[in-house]
Structure 1
Amino acid sequence: MSEAASRPRIGVYPGTFDPITNGHLDIIARAARILPRLVIGVAINAGKGPLFPLEERVALVRAETERVAQASGTEIAVAAFDTLLVEFARSVGATVILRGLRAVSDFDYEFQMAGMNYRLAPDIETVFLMASERHQFISSRFVKEIALLGGDITSFVPTLTRERVLERLGGGAA
């Protein structure tokens, strides 16, 4: 058995997670079925004007993924990063970058990113997981917009995240 084959596969699932959605959790749960260790990389990405500060996003992702880790037996870690994704992946020993695809419109961007990442780090594979049908339309941006306009986000995010979004937007946990 080669050294690479004997090492446990470690995957990185990157995103801003502002906020984490049920779609993200679906991808995380499915990744946990195929990887013994998953590192969720929370990107700083200040350019997106996040609703939550980085530390709070990391804490929410940790809290919301505990059940997935317990149910799957997969070790799930959460860490912030502000470097190139491939550099972050290397820093945590990952050989796989996981990306979720919701629709064909995601594919073009993700295909380009996978190609760039491969040129930068040919030893790290990008693996795409399709979002489950019931989560294909969910995005953090839509969740924030719906909540900001007073809509119900209950079916799009887990309970703790819903409460925090509503608190952040001044609507309490109604």
Structure 2
Amino acid sequence: MSKQIVAIYPGTFDPISLGHEDIVLRAAAMFDKVILAVATAHHKKTLFSLDERMAMARETMASHPQVEVVPFTGLARDFVRTHNATVIVRGVRTVTDFDYEFQLAGMNRDLMPDVETVFLTPSAKYQFISSTFVREISLLGGAGDGQNLVSAGVYKRLMAKKATAS
């Protein structure tokens, strides 16, 4: 019997975008199980609480049974070990992303020599999307309020945030 390959895709997902979804689905096609690890983000000020980010990610991934959404805090190393994962998935859109992710992968390799980091690029139509852009466009009233950047459920929550901020 072959060993199930578990991949971890960590991030803050504030909010989860179509670009994130694209990376998750690409990873799900490659690995037996993908854990979307939603970070508590103690080092960042997030628009959405952890519970809200978890709910959006679970809703977005509901039709993909091989994807599990789990909260995480602390070092990725500990999370990876707890979930018996052997792969960390990272999305890369730009050279700037790659530079940061390459350094992070090197550190993770030092901490976990038996865990591989896999870089995935999103489809061309999603390469420009970042959660920062999604938040700014949605809350500041950009073209379409970012409706083409996130799923319908996430968009609804963004508009609710916008309404309460006004």
**TM-score category, normalised to shorter length:** over 0.9
1:155 to 145, 148, 153: 148
- After TM superposition, the score normalised by the length of structure 1 is 0.90
Say whether 1:130 aligns with 2:121.
Answer: yes
Q: How many residues align?
A: 163
Q: Distance in 2 between matches of 1:169 and 1:87?
A: 36
Gapped regions of structure 1 (runs ≥ 5): none
Residue in structure 1 matching 2:25, options 18, 29, 39: 29
Greater shift, 18-27 or 162-171, is seen at 162-171
Report the alpha carbon displacement of residue 46 of structure 1 after superposing the two structures with TM. 2.9
Secondary structure at 2:20 match in 1: helix
Q: What is the distance in 2 between the residues matched to 1:125 and 1:90?
A: 13
Letter in 1 for 2:58: R
| Residue 171 (structure 1) shift | 6.6
1:117 matches 2:108: yes
Q: Does the CA-based 8 Å contact 1:86-1:124 persist in structure 2?
A: no
> Residue 74 of structure 2 aligns to a residue in which SS?
coil
Query: AA paired with 2:150?
Result: V
Residues 3-82 of structure 1: pairs in structure 2 closer than 5 A: 6-67=2-63, 69=64, 75-82=66-73
Q: Would you identify which runs of 4 or more consecutive aligned residues in structure 1 move more than 4 Å? A: none
RMSD over aligned CA atoms reads 1.4
* Shift, 1:47, TM fit: 2.5
Q: Are 2:139 and 2:158, in contact at CA under 8 Å, matched by a contact in 1?
A: no
CA displacement at 1:61 relative to structure 2: 0.2
**Which letter maps to 2:52?**
E
The residue type equivalent to 1:169 in the other structure is K
Structure 2 residue aligned with 1:106 = 97
Deviation at 1:75, TM superposition (A): 1.5
